[in-house]
Amino acid sequence: MFELKDVTYRDILDISSLHIPDKRITCLVGESGAGKSTLLKMLNMMISPDRGNIYYRNENIENLDPIQHRRRVVMLAQQPTIFEGTIRDNLNIGLVYSGETEKIDYELSEALELVSLHKKLDEVAHTLSGGEKQRLALARIYLMDPEVYLLDEPTSALDEDTEDAVMKEFITGLKNRGKTAVLISHSQKLVSTYGDHNIKMSKAKVNIDG
């Protein structure tokens, strides 16, 4: 899926070789400042390496159209963007960004159910709590149906029980659809339960596990 060769970025990343497999859940783990979020941003073409090459499906991402690439490789930041308007508006705006047709209410409600967000579609999104906003953002990118999901601490505002319930359904849904995910999490339980392929990052170094 992704291949990195001799990639450096400032004093944050120095990766001689790294493979991120297709149709698996890859977890990035390590201390704060180890470059995990930086790596996700590179995979999403939000930033470029100072040196080296990143390949997506054997093609150098420098040769790809950034907009089209971000439709195939969608990133969810730790502090997700919530737009003005209703929950319905927030779910459909991801589809508009992806160039897809908006979903009917039944499909939107199914996505909310998947992430255990029991809210009405016409509720105002900005009134949601931090954890509810994270779940809304997860439902939004689930509906977008990209090839790759880049998730930066998607459950950091959830308690352990809610995290487990949400990620069980979300990851199961991704695997059933043959999707790829790269996940950052400080939750060892989440990593050990759902990670197929773990990358341990520390001070610009990486170690592969699984």
- Residue 195: the pLDDT is 94
The per-type count for the chain, helices as H runs and strands as E runs, is: 7, 10
Please answer whether residues 72 and 146 qualify as being in contact, where contact means their C-beta atoms are separated by less than 8 angstroms: yes
The token pair at 171 is: 């990851």
Q: Name the residue among 180, 118, 115 with its Cα closest to residue 149.
A: 180
Rg (CA), the chain: 17
Percent of the chain with pLDDT strictly greater than 70: 97
| pLDDT, tens only, 29-78 | 998 889 999 999 999 999 999 999 999 999 999 999 999 999 999 999 98
- Integer Cα distance of 149 and 205 in angstroms: 23
What is the value of pTM for the model shown?
0.95
pLDDT in tens, 115-156: 999 999 999 999 999 999 999 999 999 999 999 999 999 999
For 2-209, which CATH class? Answer: alpha beta
